[in-house]
Structure 1
Amino acid sequence: MRTAPAWYSQDMASAGFLAIGSGPAGVSAAETFRSKHRNIAVGILSDDPALPYAKPPLSKQFLCGEPTELELHSAGWFERNDIELSLGVRVAHIDTATQQVITTGGARYRYWHLVLAVGSTAVPLAVPGGESALTLRSFADAVALKMAARHAATAVVVGGGLIGCEAASCLAALGVDTTLVAPETVPLQRRFGVDVGERVVKMLSEAGVHFVGAAQVTAVEDAGVTLDSGEALGGELVVAATGARPDVRLAVAAGLVTHEGRVVVDEHMRTSAHNVYAAGDITIAHNVAAGRPVIAEHWRDAALQGRVAGLTAAGFDSSWDRVPGFSCVVGGFTLTYRGWGGRHDACTVTERANGFRAHYSLQGRAIGTLDATANPAS
């Protein structure tokens, strides 16, 4: 891949559509725009050196050692569709007044339409020795974790969220004696509540994962971790699944309107700056179906928002009107959620022959549904 697009120029006439970020939002936006305009320059800038890939399988099939296709498109696809893909390029600044993107190397890319789709960064494990814990946000992270698991007999996963539960399940499936530690009493408590969390503990146990709840890791050492109780947990491998934070640094520096750490966009993915759009993890976007701004942090939603941004930039009417949703795999179960997320004040769980269903509501209004279904191979 070239480090600078062929259409790179100081001449505004050669500018076109530019996406920052090679995840689902950025690639979907570029692909959609290209499908509507064959003769306008389209480019993607990404600080990730890897060819654009799907992230959900990293903590599922890939880490578990199962066959999976990670690439969103082949290198040849980008070439055939005349989308200039520039990898390993870090953007330093967006100048919305002159419609230019400036990289840390000093290169300048002019744009007519810009989509900001940089995603999130891992929240570090902020304890002594925490920098030695492995994370799972990128393909490089997943490769490092998978290789480390081959030589580890024990592991500690810190964090009881979706990634933590999936990673712990996979490590246990690989034969690693794995313990999951979370500050909540049960995994996924903040997202799905105690009733569901207790069932997740059982899923993890059946998968061979030990769960330690209501505990804080205070230090990471060579032989494992130390908890706030003073207890030491052995772990040749320590994984920090301590959450992710939207990367809004470029947006803030460019003067885009943000709210509580996210870029504010309308239902068409427009930001407060002319011809600048945002999609994916970094946004709080107006959802037509919900009738209000919604935070959606998952792959499917990012791809949908990217499509809306690409269509809007291309001059077509498009709005984000789908109900957000995602799925994850915990042990022998697939959990599928559809809804608006956020706070709920009531949860009703209904048992089923192959799992359960949880209905969430807030002040009597339905806001989401979670289905847990046993996988056929279980």
Structure 2
Amino acid sequence: MAEKLRTRRRSWISKSDERLNGAASYLRKWYPGEVAAPGFIAIGSGPAGVSAAETFRSKHPGIPVRILTVDPALPYAKPPLSKGFLCGREQKRDLHSEEWFVHNNVDLIRGIAVDRIDTAGQEVITVGGQHYPYWHLVVASGATPVRLDIPGADQALTLRSFSDAVALKMAARYADSAVVIGGGLIGCEAAACLAARGVETALVAAEVVPLQRRFGLEAGERIVKILSDHGVGFVGETTVAEIGASAVVFDDGTDVNADLVVAATGVRPDVRLAEAAGLHTRDGRIVVDEHMHASARNVYAAGDVALAHNVTAGRRIRSEHWRDAAQEGLVAGLTAAGFSAVWDQVPGFSCTIGDSVLKYRGWGSYETCRLVDHHNGFTVWYEAGGDVVGVLTLNADEDHHRADELLRAS
């Protein structure tokens, strides 16, 4: 019986694909140049949008697939920007070559801003007035940097896009001193890269130690030592009150020289299009189920903007990292293509400070943590209700691999 149902489902998908292909061909024939043929659209060229488009294309070779992005560059991976590019280590960044998009008939439309989404009419309208009808839409609009609200804030550089990284790398060539504001992942990585380039660098954060809220005090103390070993000075429990022409002023009135200032003060999911379209949002993210379905018909969300239900966790999880975004995009693409898929992966990411690579897996929130030192690294176990809910490792790959089994069992 089950095999009959699977056969019937495959047959339905095949016939559905034929019908959609036929409709698309009809529109292209009778309305050339006047209206874009409807199909699959991803808003955003990050890991979520590209993964969703690539996955959908692999299942439906004849249906129009488009990626609309404001970024003028080819889709690229962002982690290498602060882990390698800024340090002068070239790493593969492009997700696909320009030829790949042509060969796979994926229409990559760059440097275009979306004005609004019409969920009733199932179309995306750009700032220039172009209308793109869709049968399936994935909102993967990513996140935007949180701007500093202090005098001189416009002098600080950010590190969110490839163009940001190029500007920062060029500025570092002419700088003797730098201050990085923000003790998160990007702040730590950027500070280590600047120090490696010979720039006297200080990392400033409001917390006692970097990444304290995420990883805890003991782990943060180890990170301060790693930063120091790579030439980065850390100033904790401090906020920047003003950015001058050649110095930053702290809240206590003291100042420090800074030819270059980097604002690594976090990001905010860009849900403006979703909110204007009436999609259900919560805590600044688009609410989706385990299949990445949003609250409107044939609309999905993935990546930074999504608050998705994780089957393994049994609840909705905030995802803010590259691998998770790509996985959510895969699920959205499969679901849109008519296949059964759910988000069940345990979230994880890494942080590279010089030659030290911190690896994390887990659900984010925890009640207690326990740090175990090793001869050349450490492991931090995070627990809640007596269960392991996360692990942070440095040179402890066995613990990192074991964590997945423990996290799935918790």
TM-score by length of 1: 0.95
Q: Answer whether contact 1:158 1:242 (CA < 8 A) is retained.
A: yes
- The equivalent residue for 1:77 is 100
Distance 1:265 1:9, change over 3 A: farther
Query: What is the alpha-carbon root mean square deviation over aligned residues?
Result: 1.5
1:56 corresponds, among 59, 79, 95, to: 79
In structure 2, distance between residues paired with 1:346 and 1:233: 36
**Bigger radius of gyration:** 2
Is 1:110 aligned to 2:133, yes or no?
Answer: yes
Q: Answer whether contact 2:378 2:396 (CA < 8 A) is retained.
A: no
Identity of aligned residues (%): 61
Matches within 5 A, 1:259-278: 259-278=282-301
Is 1:349 aligned to 2:371, yes or no?
Answer: yes
In structure 2, distance between residues paired with 1:183 and 1:77: 45
Q: Which amino acid aligns with 2:250?
A: L
- The equivalent residue for 1:151 is 174
Deviation at 1:365, TM superposition (A): 2.4
Q: Answer whether contact 2:379 2:396 (CA < 8 A) is retained.
A: no
- The equivalent residue for 1:257 is 280
Q: Residues 242-273 of structure 1: CA distance to partner in whole angstroms, max 9, x if unpaired?
A: 00000000000000000110100000000000
1:216 corresponds, among 239, 247, 259, to: 239
Which consecutive unaligned segments of at least 5 residues does structure 1 have? 1-5
Q: Residues 98-138 of structure 1: CA distance to partner in whole angstroms, max 9, x if unpaired?
A: 00101111111000000000100000111100111000000
Is 1:68 aligned to 2:105, yes or no?
Answer: no
Is 1:366 aligned to 2:388, yes or no?
Answer: yes
- The equivalent residue for 1:316 is 339
In structure 2, distance between residues paired with 1:137 and 1:257: 27
Distance 1:308 1:374, change over 3 A: closer
In structure 2, distance between residues paired with 1:52 and 1:62: 16
In structure 2, distance between residues paired with 1:10 and 1:319: 37
Matches within 5 A, 1:294-305: 294-305=317-328
In structure 1, distance between residues paired with 2:280 and 2:152: 36
Q: Answer whether contact 1:206 1:331 (CA < 8 A) is retained.
A: no
Which consecutive unaligned segments of at least 5 residues does structure 2 have? 1-26, 398-410
Is 1:39 aligned to 2:28, yes or no?
Answer: no
In structure 2, distance between residues paired with 1:332 and 1:88: 36
- The equivalent residue for 1:279 is 302
Number of residue equivalences? 368
Write 1 or 2 for the structure with the bigger share of helix.
2
TM-score by length of 2: 0.88
In structure 2, distance between residues paired with 1:233 and 1:111: 53
Q: Answer whether contact 1:19 1:45 (CA < 8 A) is retained.
A: yes
Q: Answer whether contact 1:333 1:374 (CA < 8 A) is retained.
A: no
Matches within 5 A, 1:71-150: 71-150=94-173
* SS of match in other structure, 2:86: helix
Write 1 or 2 for the structure with the bigger share of strand.
1
Structure 1 segments (4+ residues) deviating >2 Å:
6-12
In structure 2, distance between residues paired with 1:132 and 1:280: 29
In structure 2, distance between residues paired with 1:372 and 1:16: 45
